[in-house]
Amino acid sequence: MKRITLKFIPGVLLAVIFLLSSCTSAYKVTKSEGTMVAIDSTWDVNPDAEAVALLAPYKAKVDSIMYRVVGTAEMSMDKGAPESLLSNLVADVLRNAAAQVLGEPADMGLINMGGLRNVLTEGPITTENIYEILPFENSLCILTMKGAYLKELFNNIAVRHGEGVSGVQLLITKDGKLLQGTVGGRPIEDNQLYTVATIDYLADGNDGMTALPQAEKRECPDGATLRGLFMDYVERQTATGKKITSRLEGRVTVKDE
């Protein structure tokens, strides 16, 4: 029996698979080796003209969608604990989006810093920018929970030294302990029901938000992705001649020692 050793290199793998699938019993694979290949701009130096031509109409269609300007940012906005311009903006969008289910904004909006993946820079906002900031298929979820569990949620947020919130104010320590939390400027009542607009990922208790699965009610409207909600918000603001803006309001404050 003949034996050969094959090393898979870029551009050869598919050909090798085809070759092996058509081989007779005269050949048997005894060893294979592979290496990591960096996919970077060096592969664009000598593009395959036929492949470029084939993809051109599809690329043009994608570019026409992704590079479309949908609004204007008044300032650059980034994420960061304990509070940031970008996280405040997205949390506000979530809280207000709950009106489609509740008929009014939720008591609280919540987004995790880890769900925001890029900076919203000053100037034109394109569809691509929004996809870069919100790349995940996260969807709106509105939770109804007792005040006792809302306090627990505030503790979850304090441990993480702050997340994106709307409608509430938290005072925390540098080592992640909650000192005070209010909703709409009022103290929390343990047995009162409160509504929290967040994303399904957090509603499941991820990123340390262990209080959220304790909610008494959970409503997640079909098709209400966070990215879609944010896009709608930008387009509505633009239609009324407004720029996208945000501000720091002391929503999460760390007490100085």
* For residue 213, pLDDT beyond 60: yes
- The whole-number average pLDDT for the span 201-218 is 97
What share of the chain has pLDDT > 90, as a percent?
73
Residue 84, pLDDT above cutoff 60: yes
- Of residues 92 and 22, the one with the higher pLDDT is 92
Cα–Cα dist 76/85, whole Å: 9
Question: From the CA atom positions of the chain, what is the Rg in Å?
Answer: 25
Is the model's pLDDT at 197 over the cut of 50?
yes
The b-or-e profile of 27-51 (16+ CB within 10 A means b, else e) is eeeeeeeeeeeeeeeeeeeeeeeee
Decide: 231 and 68 in contact? Cβ < 8 Å. no
Cα gap 190→12, rounded to integer Å: 65
* pLDDT at position 24: 54
The whole-angstrom separation of Cα 7 and Cα 146 is 61
- Looking at domain 69-254, its CATH superfamily turns out to be 5'-Nucleotidase, C-terminal domain (3.90.780.10)
Is residue 43 over pLDDT 80? no
Q: In this prediction, what percent of the chain has a pLDDT beyond 70?
A: 89
160 Cβ neighbours under 8 A, 6+ residues apart: 81, 176, 207, 208
